[in-house]
Structure 1
Amino acid sequence: MQHLRPARTAGIVLAAALLAAAAAGCGSAGSSNKSSSSGGTATGSNSSVRIGILLPESKTTRYEAFDKPLLEAELQARMPGVQVDYYNAGQDATVQQTQVDTALTKGDKVLILDAVDSKSIQASVQKAHDAGVKVVAYDRLAQGPVDAYVSFDNVKVGELQGTALLAALGSNAATQQIVMINGSPTDPNAAQFKQGAHSVLNGKVKIGKEYDTPNWDPNTANQEMAGAITALGAPNIHGVYSANDGMAAGIATALSAANLHVPLTGQDAQLDALQRIQAGTQTMTIYKPYKPEATAAADVAVEFAQGRTPGNDLLPDKQTSGSGNVVPSKLITPIVVDKTNMCTTVVKDGLYTAAQIGITC
């Protein structure tokens, strides 16, 4: 696997500028059928090329604030004037299937697809394939004849989360009990996070309760945590594995209501999670640098759009989807963030300022 370093200074400035632009333009981010088109100046041969970006939801802040503007900017940088069609499915798999149909009707040549439901989208992927449209699975590996996949090493994410939780539990971990709150059962990434976490935690700590949380919903995670506290008793819970930061927010609320202060994991380096880490109500998060992911996806999409097949330099890895398709892939290494390294990771890369987090660098 190729290990990537955080984005360089130019990327930092771009990411900060894009964040500001995204914050100004996300007033309707919660729409379940959001679409837009942006193409810059429609000049030259690129103006006849359309690329679709299909993202899954907006409850997780990364998609509207980072992935969308970064993908659009990276595509425009490589193919000035290319027509970019953007869709957000609002966590509705049926809506996303309709959005794929719309993108194909518009004549999109390449789809960058982050599937709401990796299994139910298979028919849409097949439809794109039959129409000669290339599909780049982005962040989540969709089923069907996907042409390329760009994401992070998701098993490694779970391993890092589990390792951090064990470290926070200390030398008595074997005698302690945790609750595991995993991600959506329709998201193949969630299964990989879970796999990685179990590979570290099994046999090292007692797992008292475990949940798979539909749609990664923070409110559901809150209810699951409250139920675990009732079932196990607050004094018998010594730590919580949360697969992402959105759910960690709901979990932290339930823990606080029970006056329970225990280690809590997360993922996505959301601003509120970083603030919780500083406040001591969350232990760590996983930072997945969005710019390298968007850059890699744009590199691959543009190769396809220009009629070329991306080589091993762009897709050095392989992943097998739930439908058994072996897909050329690019897997990026994630980074653990805790109180000790915010300045050298998320602040250095321009994801947030120190003032936003409430720290001094």
Structure 2
Amino acid sequence: MKRVIFKFAVIISILSLVFAVSACESEKEQAVAPGHSTSSQKVKQADGEKIKVGFTMDTLVEERWLRDRELFRDAVRALGADVEILAANGDDVLQIAHAESLISQGVDVLVVVPHNAEATATIVKKAHMAGIKVMAYDRLVKNADIDMYVSFDNEQVGELQAEAITQLVPKGRYVYIGGAITDNNAHLFKKGVFNVLQPYIDSGDITVVFDQWTKDWTPANAKENMRAALKANNNQIDAVICANDATAGGVIEALAEQGMAGKIPVSGQDAELAGVQRIVEGTQTMTVYKPLKELTQTAAKIAVQMAKGETVAINRKVNNGKIEVPSVLLPPIAVDRSNMDETIIADGFHSREDVYKK
């Protein structure tokens, strides 16, 4: 009988040890949250296999996004990592498909320039289910547990635009031509603009007589908006604030049709070559320069840190409707004819020959 009791006690002890080990392993698995560094990543790094960054972009239509693609690719490779870049041409369904493709390829971190700030929340969920962290690049992803946001201070972009135009036209009839309503940055630009305009509006010095978004940011749509603004106001317009240089280009074409180009102050943003050439010519008043080399190098460095599970230093938290997103926001720079040489040209963003057409 004693032997039976002894054997039973031994069996109980062994089973207890097995359950304890299983519980320990379970706790270890639970400690790895979705999107955080996993043991497979550590094995990859230990074996010397390169980290792979996936980059899904909204579009390559505008000049600046071509620059982002090339500079980001160079910055990631300079850090010893690989990068796969796909552009969705403004198609939400295609962008989600691109993200799924990058996830299936086993990228270590996913970087997203969203076409639609809301729709791309799906991408974040899919990546996190695969244990992959997600960074929003330049445009915030709304209502999602995004891991990181790297951009410029986009509200300040709008403030710089409005400050430049109100210095020239402190009283008058204003037109605001915004960006795409689906782009969260467009809302931030507009918020910044009206931060500056509101006191003038409240005092009665400025009246905003036309305020419209521009579908897909296209110059053609901006041109039609401006034509509508001019028609509705019998050409009685004193200033135009445009969300970027592409929309400013369309607006200036509409003004030129009425013989008003160069007579009405027009703002822009992105420091596109066509935009800075218009500043030199006198048909566009200013642009906002966002040093893309700094942005791409910062984003690449952080993406690699995220892939390795390293701590990332942030300077802001931005609410995306769901969480306070850890963020790194860089300062933009207002540029007009007076400081063109010491900013855009000095940085090599555009050559002096191209800007001045010499």
1:74-124 Cα distance to aligned partner (Å, 9 max, x none) = 11111x2x3311111111111111100010111111011110101001111
Aligned counterparts of 1:335 and 1:359: Cα–Cα separation in 2:
23
**Higher Cα Rg: structure 1 or 2?**
2
1:22-77 Cα distance to aligned partner (Å, 9 max, x none) = xxxxxxxxxxxxxxxxxxxxx9955443211111112221111x111111111111
| Aligned equivalent of 1:191, options 184, 187, 192 | 187
How do 1:1-361 and structure 2 match up within 5 A? 45=47, 47-64=49-66, 66-78=67-79, 80=80, 82-143=81-142, 144-169=144-169, 173-174=170-171, 176-204=172-200, 205-234=206-235, 236-260=236-260, 261-310=263-312, 312=313, 315-321=314-320, 323-358=321-356
Which has a greater percent of helix? 2
Deviation at 1:178, TM superposition (A): 1.0
Aligned counterparts of 1:52 and 1:216: Cα–Cα separation in 2:
25
Identity of matched residues, %: 35
Alignment RMSD (CA, Å): 1.5
Aligned counterparts of 1:333 and 1:243: Cα–Cα separation in 2:
17
- Structure 1 counterpart SS, 2:337: coil
One-letter code of the match for 2:146?
V
Deviation at 1:332, TM superposition (A): 0.4
Deviation at 1:307, TM superposition (A): 2.5
One-letter code of the match for 1:98?
A
Structure 2 gaps of 5+ residues are 1-44, 201-205
Q: Is the 8 A contact 2:222 2:251 kept in 1?
A: yes
One-letter code of the match for 1:70?
L
Deviation at 1:177, TM superposition (A): 0.1
Pick 1 or 2: higher relative contact order, CA cutoff 8 A, min separation 6: 1
Change (3 A) 1:44 1:68: farther
Deviation at 1:309, TM superposition (A): 3.0
Change (3 A) 1:238 1:128: same
1:156-213 Cα distance to aligned partner (Å, 9 max, x none) = 11010000110121xxx33x10110011111111101000101111242110000011
Q: Is the 8 A contact 1:289 1:334 kept in 2?
A: yes
Give TM-score scaled by structure 1 length.
0.82
One-letter code of the match for 1:227?
A
Other-structure match for 2:14: none
One-letter code of the match for 2:185?
N
Aligned counterparts of 1:226 and 1:76: Cα–Cα separation in 2:
46
